[in-house]
Structure 1
Amino acid sequence: MLKVKKFMIILIISIFPSFSSEEWNGKIYKENGITVVESKGKGIWGEDIEKKVLFSDTLSLGLEEGDEKLIFGDELEIAVDSEENIYILDSRNFRVLKFDKNGKFLWKIGRKGQGPRELERPCKIKITSKNNFAVLDYHFKIHFFTSDGKYLSTLKSKKIIHNIEFLNDGRMLVCLFTAVKLGYTAEFWSEDGKFLSDFPDKYFFSPEISSGKMLGITMGLNKSKDKIFLSIPDRYEIREYDLNGNTLRKIRRDFPLKPPRIEIKGKGARIEISDISGPTFILKNGNIVNFVDLSGGEIKGKFLDFFDVQGRFLGSLKVKENIIEVDQKDNFYFLQYEPFPKIIRRTLKIIY
């Protein structure tokens, strides 16, 4: 009889290894038909997050002196294709550089100008549905290139573009500057610039400003794997959408983000950025990671906020650099500014 009891105890422990004393403080409810996951406090992991979330460096690109190809300006964007090749948009130097997944330099293109293969004010780089790449230039031009760096075409827009994302079905999600009020609006276009439909959700967070076009001032909408996210600037709320823009859920924390300070001056406005929330990324296991840069309150610094598959807050990990991308294989790409610009790729390990 004693042997049976011991076997039962061992069996129970082995079947339920993930049970712990950690508890979630929050609630899940419906708001206008949309699921809302609202978390309170420091999260399920709390202060133990540093023991549970471990990053390991796997690649570093950037030098203070030496090889010119690795000396970057202080405005960098990256895109990572399906083979883990890294495209770096070095806006200050008007160039795009491609490296393979091991950091081997492949090619560079670009120079300042208005002709083919030339850039005026490049600000975003993205991988297209055909595994080529595109550069958003001066907020109203999109240059298309092959994966080998050969120029294809330029799409010119009458609308002022804040960001672009490419969907696998050939559509583009085009995030636009807003008029009258600060906020976020977007449209779906074909890759040749044909309007297809409005993005269903819009968000505004300022009083009316009588001057014409106003700029989006934080990250706005971003695509990660098969989801679209919007991390709004005036409170802690992440909106999760499918690739057609249908709202799937809203994820909230009771953390008090300090919103942008907007001072109306005549027909214009003066805007001061405080706390920044976003971009947001979804991992292969369904967990969500949101980048937060805090400067307006008592807590200051850069953080990665982790949420589980259900949207429940796990904890907040302090980091030194900005996160700029998470690729299809869950490699994290960070941007270091000091003492010199450098891109660092890291792998993530979570200990449960």
Structure 2
Amino acid sequence: MDSALGPDGFVYVADVSSMQIIAFDPNGDVAWKSGRQGEGPGEFRGLYRITVGADGTIHAFDRATSSISRLTSDGSFVDRRRLEFAFPAMNDLVATADGRVAVSGITSYGFPTDSAVHVFDSELAYVRSFAPAPTAENSLALTYSGAGTVALTPAGDVLFVRRIPYEVYHYSLAGARLNGVIEAPFEYDFTADDVVTIEERAGRIEISRPQTEFPFFSAAVALTDSTFLVPRRQGESRHWDFFTTTGRYLGSTSIPSDWGVLIGYDSERRVLWARGEQKLEPVLRRLEVELRGR
């Protein structure tokens, strides 16, 4: 369901079939497994998203309970806390070394529904929201299209990739805009209302998705202190778009579709990790890369 790269080069995978977090060492070997189906400490009902802080603490979001469980880097359960409000559409989360968490998603009624990124302190109490959520004529469409993804730069700032339109925002965790909107030199002419069809028939709401393949943008992946890439796909076409944190677009490159979803870049070992599928089986991919300045 999700995956994350830790500061020690370990990769953590959220396996929804077993409700477990599986840790792989930098060589790709299984190091440990933690969790199971249930409601007790270290158990999950709807394991959905995971992230790892710079201190190695694992944060796992349970969609069924709108709660975050924290585990040590060896998989030992620390605590679980329910968030103050629900997310009809929860897209992503990141954690800082001091325990703060930023969640991207569409919030429930009565909370800052016009913002996309929501920050919680180390006790997981709500602090603030910022970054513009996508707009839609029918707000129900946003619960299906989502808000976008969130990532941290090496300096601990937030990179928010807005899903509709395709824009990247650079913020501090305090909610201050650090740069202007980072725009790629191409546009997609669609809105959140185009992603789903919402109709009322005989007093019932029917929701369907059109056959059109809409582009999808994954979370930004930091490469250096000042550069990052955003994975972009539409149908079988997949690209990596490269930017600087100062707002400059560097270019794009097409990638093989079987490389899968990018997890993160291990700068110490110069390895990009991705998760994908081969012969209908889930796999992890290690891509050795060499970064060259331009």
Contact 2:150 2:161 survives alignment (8 Å): yes
Answer yes or no: is 1:187 the counterpart of 2:118. yes
Matched residue count: 271
Q: Give distance in 2, aligned partners of 1:285 and 1:188.
A: 22
Describe the shift of the 1:274–1:147 C-alpha distance in structure 2 as closer, same or farther (beyond 3 A): same
How does 1:188-267 map onto structure 2 within 5 Å? 188-196=119-127, 198-209=128-139, 214-215=143-144, 217=146, 219-225=148-154, 226-247=156-177, 248-257=179-188, 259=190, 260=192, 261=194, 262-266=196-200
Equivalent of 2:283, from 319, 333, 342? 342
Q: Give distance in 1, aligned partners of 2:114 and 2:239.
A: 24
Q: Which residue of 1 aligns with 2:251?
A: 314
Answer yes or no: is 1:178 the counterpart of 2:117. no
Q: Give distance in 1, aligned partners of 2:147 and 2:158.
A: 16
Q: Give distance in 2, aligned partners of 1:176 and 1:236.
A: 15
Q: Give distance in 1, aligned partners of 2:163 and 2:118.
A: 20
How does 1:295-306 map onto structure 2 within 5 Å? 295=235, 300-306=236-242
Q: Which residue of 2 aligns with 1:127?
A: 52
Q: Give distance in 2, aligned partners of 1:242 and 1:209.
A: 27
337-346 or 307-316: which moved more? 307-316
Kindly report the root-mean-square deviation, in angstroms, between the aligned alpha carbons of the 2 structures: 2.9
Describe the shift of the 1:224–1:338 C-alpha distance in structure 2 as closer, same or farther (beyond 3 A): farther
- Report the Cα offset of residue 159 of structure 1: 1.6
**TM-score (normalised: structure 1):** 0.68
Larger-gyration structure (1/2): 1
- Report the Cα offset of residue 186 of structure 1: 2.7
How does 1:124-163 map onto structure 2 within 5 Å? 124-128=49-53, 130-138=55-63, 140-161=66-87, 162=90, 163=92
Q: Give distance in 2, aligned partners of 1:183 and 1:316.
A: 33
Contact 2:61 2:67 survives alignment (8 Å): yes
Query: Which AA in structure 1 matches 2:243?
Result: F
Describe the shift of the 1:114–1:315 C-alpha distance in structure 2 as closer, same or farther (beyond 3 A): same
Answer yes or no: is 1:276 the counterpart of 2:202. no
Answer yes or no: is 1:97 the counterpart of 2:22. yes
Q: Which residue of 2 aligns with 1:112?
A: 37
* 1:48-85 CA distance string (max 9 Å, x none): xxxxxxxxxxxxxxxxxxxxxxxxxxx3x222222212
- Report the Cα offset of residue 293 of structure 1: 0.8
Describe the shift of the 1:308–1:319 C-alpha distance in structure 2 as closer, same or farther (beyond 3 A): farther
Q: Secondary structure at the match of 2:218?
A: strand
Contact 1:96 1:110 survives alignment (8 Å): yes
**TM-score (normalised: structure 2):** 0.79
* 1:173-213 CA distance string (max 9 Å, x none): 133423579875232212322222x22322232113479x9
Q: Give distance in 1, aligned partners of 2:278 and 2:227.
A: 30
Q: Give distance in 1, aligned partners of 2:283 and 2:149.
A: 24
* 1:96-115 CA distance string (max 9 Å, x none): 12222223332212221122
Equivalent of 1:289, from 229, 236, 257? 229
Q: Give distance in 1, aligned partners of 2:14 and 2:220.
A: 20
Describe the shift of the 1:121–1:249 C-alpha distance in structure 2 as closer, same or farther (beyond 3 A): same
Unaligned runs of 5+ in 1: 1-74
Contact 2:67 2:83 survives alignment (8 Å): yes
* 1:239-260 CA distance string (max 9 Å, x none): 2223323222222123233534
